[in-house]
Chain A
């Protein structure tokens, strides 16, 4: 019976051949065929040897028209019909047809085979886009099977044995960043390791490599190269504002989005990232639009985190918060002044932060205390102010 049909041999370049080519590669892709099968398909359909050369990923496959795998060390002839694996890439898939006239069938073979090859490479050789939101979603989903979450971690370039933290930006999708380890190379290694994604590549992404690779430690400011990338990592909070970074964190923190409020979850084993994500979202509620307080680490909240359970987003604000809002409405400087007082170690530091003279600050605070109805320069009063400012963030819808 098998002899009934014609052989699967080189296609005639007549009508219908292109349709068959498309059906052939669609079917290969559907059944998750590997690279050799795809290159063989191109060779068999074209009737000439086909080769795939991807220097970046060190892939080289050559198959002859009879389906035999026979790799070759000689370089491809630039005159051969070829296709790139990406719109702006260099030629990677070749049909070894010398002196070829442009042919529609060749073009369809190359286009279809190259597309399928690219998808296989992405799937198998770790070129998953770092910003794949579906992978991050899986990683942060406590109900997803562990195997699926470990798979997602690997695809995102995270070491399943290392620790990572979840970030919850107010604007934008969840992110996951590896925890920086103490034995990472010192600053100034940008570009030294070709396998480490550079900031430029990770910029649009969701998984951001450890800051240490970019020389963003306190002793070494970010190099020009790192700073040029669209996704410039910040070293902890060191460059993010005047607030003092927590001890030991400078230069060791994850890379954080440049703008907007962000909650940062604790560093955990990758399988516990859903917990880090929950904590990051709680931390986000404590973050303020003020430049220095836009990034909040869950680990620094301590018992304050308990407040998040007491005050639901969008809830009716407590009386002190209402008083704060009423006072803020009377003068544009008021909220920033109180915020500076609440978040610095002395009135002098507060005056410096908001660029006013010490005596001006004293005058403003007297005015504010009158509007609020409680002192803000006593320990208890300052605590009451801090609490009111915090609750104001938590009641944010």
Chain B
């Protein structure tokens, strides 16, 4: 195995030049606060969540897990009346390495889909590590899904047509959510969109080793995120699948999955392995490995040709899933 990572796509390499001052490959526990206060999150809060008035936007406090505080759901509904019956729901889980972010972060991606397929977007706020280690984040995410399914009618939406979606840590939490709903016989989910998902706390794949100190979210950053979530248990024998879906023994009986990842990122090998294991378990999965993509490339450089291709592939899959 070569420790030399695949080269970045030319356009993405150039984009990385522009963001390298804002984002570094690594992240340590003592930098988490600094990044939470940094300009990135505030920048995202300026997004026009209505997409020029297409959506009406609401923040709703709903019950959290038993004995835990309420959670906040960002609910974006098309302002026009539904064309034909209740709308599908995209239930979105934001990213941020388990340690940062809020329910605005990355929601522009599911909003863009929802505009195309006439869906409702619900984006969940969850408690962050390290203050709130596992299982707080995934239980918040689960509680939000339960509320959404139970109150779908209020949103002119169909509880039988919920797609869960997330990028990075949000992708990992979405995969965990699919396992949870399967095992608890919770709300029916018809699909899971796992975008460059964070699945494996062991952090020891060849791609994790290749990307040490390179690109976005390198091996050090990954160790920081997982350690924040799991503490000393990270990488050990007792990590539950609901924390790190790669640990799941059984990947059968899951909703159809869409997975994508860049070839030049820490998560490449764990995402490819996860898709393979879904197929080996007789499941349905579509996997895209974008050559020369760094972690989150389509979010950082949405104009690049590779990013346009990745976004288009996501939307095509969603259209097929929803039969629209």
Contact = CB atoms under 8 A, between A and B. Distances in A.
A66 B27 CA distance: 30
B14 A6 contact: no
Contacts of A154: none
A2 B295 contact: yes
Contacts of A3: 40-41, 44, 94-96, 101, 105-106, 167, 296, 299
B40 A23 contact: no
A2 B14 contact: no
Given A23-B17, A28-B11, A2 B106 contact: yes
B143 interface: no
Given A31-B8, A44-B303, A67-B302, A4 B167 contact: no
A24 interface: yes
A193 B10 CA distance: 37
B48 to A, nearest CB: 13
Contacts of A20: 17-18
A31 B303 contact: no
B23 interface: yes
Contacts of B22: 4-6
Contact of B14 (A7, A24, A43): A24
A37 B9 CA distance: 10
A67 B305 CA distance: 7
Contacts of A2: 95, 106, 167-168, 196, 216-217, 295-297, 299-300
A1 B17 contact: no
A66 B303 contact: yes
Interface in A333-386: none
Interface in B15-65: 15-19, 22-23, 27, 35, 38-41, 43-44
Nearest to A2: B296
A239 B217 CA distance: 72
- Most interface-central of A4, A8, A30, A68 (chain B CB within 10 A): A4
A367 B164 CA distance: 109
Contact of B35 (A4, A7, A23, A43): A4
Interface in B216-258: 216-217, 221
B144 interface: no
A174 B258 CA distance: 60
Contacts of A292: none
A40 interface: yes
A41 interface: yes
Given A1-B217, A24-B17, A8 B300 contact: yes
Of A8, A34, A36, A37, chain B has the most CB atoms within 10 Å of the CB of A8
Contacts of B177: none
Contacts of B94: 3
Contacts of B19: 5-6, 8
8 contacts: A2-B217, A2-B297, A3-B95, A3-B96, A3-B105, A30-B13, A31-B8, A36-B305
Given A27-B13, A37-B11, A40-B11, 14 more contacts: A2-B217, A2-B296, A3-B41, A3-B94, A3-B296, A4-B41, A7-B299, A7-B300, A27-B10, A27-B17, A31-B8, A31-B10, A32-B10, A43-B303
Interface of B: 7-11, 13-19, 22-23, 27, 35, 38-41, 43-44, 94-97, 100-101, 105-106, 167-169, 196, 216-217, 221, 295-297, 299-305, 307-308
